[in-house]
């Protein structure tokens, strides 16, 4: 998942993944081909747990009935705003922004200690993701045919797709770091807007997402708020100065933002069809390999000249925990919302960064900052003024009845099955297996 890191800190800093984890993209068409039946893509198995052959069509009908019932409730333009899901996705989005702010702050502390090791310090995040989620993935594999069967059907068939996701995520982080080294903060943050553009274009053409007028208005409103933040930085002189090599830095920033946008869409596609723990385990595992090689090549000189003491160790721990929380929560926003909403949610990271900077670095808040923050939040609210209680959780690439999707937390498929249970269309014992997990 990818994210767009933002900061107003003048010192050289290592921005973390933002508008990435978080981070899915739409590479070539083979990337978005339906998954094999045994991996959750079976259109006859849309229920929360894989039904028997005889009950498959019944469960498919239950999902369709549940979706129909939920969408019939969409009688007002503010319907989604009255749901718990809306407030949960808004809250998680701001937690993600705080995680980005935290990782940026710890990166700044490291830079102030003359410890500039961007690839190496991010390696610990991928390692921790692997340590947390790979055992969970293997545990579920043993319960569903065994590890050898899982290796053949998932690792061998889908592993290359996960490798591409990890590669995009790692390189998005790396080139954004390079952008902050060569250009000024204002230019780097302006280029982050390109990530949102990439998400909208890729989602529209490859995932067949059709944005409503309120969604477009919400994106523009949030971007307008971010524009005011950048203008205030320029007015107050906190845009980072002229930069070392603006052209090179801008090109790196453009490439990083593009990789972020692609990876965000790709991750949204993945978590809508696969368990979150599986996606994160592969993202972490391949991230360790890719990032490890990159750190060994590019961070060797910086590693040798870095400062190593208790404070640096503490900063590395804080940076790693902030990013791991970010990566763990990002898939929920991508499921309940979308890659576009994910990106605009992170625009508030700059505001939270200044709030922390007031206490830590002695910043002074410009009067435009509160106005900008309100505009971004209004943009997030406006994005969901489309009238559907499902919001963006119903993904067009999964089919009308979400038959190709995974019934996990935050998905429209699980919401439909829960609604079907309430209507007595699915037995209470059904749907409490595989899909109840994330």
The domain spans of the chain are 38-436
Q: Residue 318: is it exposed, middle or buried by C-beta count within 10 angstroms (0-12/13-18/19+)?
A: middle
Nearest residue to 93 via CA among 360, 275, 411, 335: 335
Sign of the Cα torsion 170, 171, 172, 174 reads positive
The sign one gets for the Cα dihedral 150, 155, 161, 163 is positive
Candidates 325, 249, 298; CA nearest to 22 is 325
- What tens-digit pLDDT sequence spans the chain (438 residues)? 654 444 433 333 334 443 333 333 333 333 333 344 444 444 433 333 433 333 445 577 888 889 988 887 756 778 888 889 999 999 999 999 999 888 888 888 888 888 888 888 899 999 999 999 999 999 999 999 999 999 999 999 999 999 999 999 999 988 887 777 777 666 666 677 889 999 999 999 999 999 989 999 999 999 888 888 777 766 766 555 555 666 787 888 889 889 999 999 999 999 999 999 999 999 999 999 999 999 998 888 888 888 899 999 999 999 999 999 999 999 999 999 999 999 999 988 877 877 777 777 676 777 788 888 889 999 999 998 866 788 899 999 998 889 899 999 999 999 999 998 888 876 655 544 444 457
Global pTM reads 0.82
Pair 390, 82: CB distance under 8 Å: no
Cβ(411)–Cβ(402) below 8 Å: yes
User: Residue 290: phi, psi to the nearest 5?
Assistant: -65, -50
Which residues, in sequence order, are CB contacts of 77 under 8 Å at separation 6+? Answer: 214, 385, 386, 387
pLDDT at 290: 96
| pLDDT tens, residue by residue, 211-256 | 989 999 999 999 888 888 777 766 766 555 555 666 787 888 889 8
Which residue, chain included where needed, has tokens 């590479």? 27
CA distances from 215 to 94, 151, 222, 341 (A): 19, 40, 11, 9
319 closest CA partner among 140, 157, 167, 128: 128
Distance CA 66, CA 64 (A): 5
For residues 350 and 189, the answer to whether their CB atoms sit within 8 Å is yes
pLDDT in tens, 400-424: 889 899 999 999 999 999 998 888 8
């Amino acid at each position: 998942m990818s994210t767009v890191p933002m900061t107003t800190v003048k010192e050289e800093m290592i921005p973390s993944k933002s508008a990435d984890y978080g981070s899915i993209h739409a590479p070539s068409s083979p990337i978005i081909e339906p998954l094999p039946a045994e991996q959750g893509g079976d259109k006859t198995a849309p229920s929360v747990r894989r039904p028997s052959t005889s009950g498959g069509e019944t469960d498919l009908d239950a999902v369709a009935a549940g979706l129909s019932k939920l969408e019939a409730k969409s009688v007002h333009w503010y319907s989604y705003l009255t749901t718990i899901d809306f407030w949960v996705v808004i809250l998680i989005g701001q937690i993600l922004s705080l995680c980005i702010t935290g990782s940026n702050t710890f990166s700044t502390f490291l830079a102030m200690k003359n410890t500039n090791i961007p690839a190496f310090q991010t390696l610990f995040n991928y390692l921790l993701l692997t340590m947390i989620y790979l055992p969970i993935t293997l545990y579920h594999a043993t319960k569903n045919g065994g590890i050898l069967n899982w290796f053949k059907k998932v690792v061998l068939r889908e592993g290359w797709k996960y490798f591409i996701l990890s590669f995009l995520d790692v390189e998005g982080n790396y080139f954004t770091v390079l952008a902050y080294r060569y250009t000024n903060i204002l230019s780097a943050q302006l280029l982050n807007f390109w990530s949102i553009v990439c998400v909208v274009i890729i989602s529209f053409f490859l995932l067949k997402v059709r944005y409503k007028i309120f969604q477009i208005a919400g994106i523009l409103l949030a971007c307008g708020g971010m524009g005011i933040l950048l203008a205030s930085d320029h007015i107050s002189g906190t845009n980072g100065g002229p930069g070392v090599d603006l052209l090179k830095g801008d090109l790196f920033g453009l490439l990083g933002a593009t990789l972020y946008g692609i990876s965000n869409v790709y991750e949204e596609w993945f978590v809508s069809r696969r368990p979150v723990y599986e996606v994160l385990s592969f993202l972490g595992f391949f991230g360790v390999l890719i990032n490890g090689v990159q750190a060994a090549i590019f961070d060797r000189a910086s590693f040798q000249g870095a400062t190593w003491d208790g404070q640096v160790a503490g900063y590395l721990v804080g940076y790693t925990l902030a990013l791991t929380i970010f990566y763990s929560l990002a898939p929920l926003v991508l499921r309940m919302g979308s890659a576009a909403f994910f990106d605009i949610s992170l625009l508030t990271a700059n505001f939270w960064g200044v709030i922390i900077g007031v206490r830590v670095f002695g910043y002074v808040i410009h009067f435009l900052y509160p106005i900008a923050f309100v505009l971004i939040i209004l943009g997030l609210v406006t994005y969901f003024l489309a009238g559907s209680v499902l919001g963006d959780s119903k993904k067009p690439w999964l089919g009308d009845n979400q038959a190709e999707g995974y019934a996990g937390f935050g998905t429209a498929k699980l919401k439909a099955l829960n609604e079907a249970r309430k209507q007595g269309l699915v037995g209470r014992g059904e749907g409490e297996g595989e899909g109840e997990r994330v």
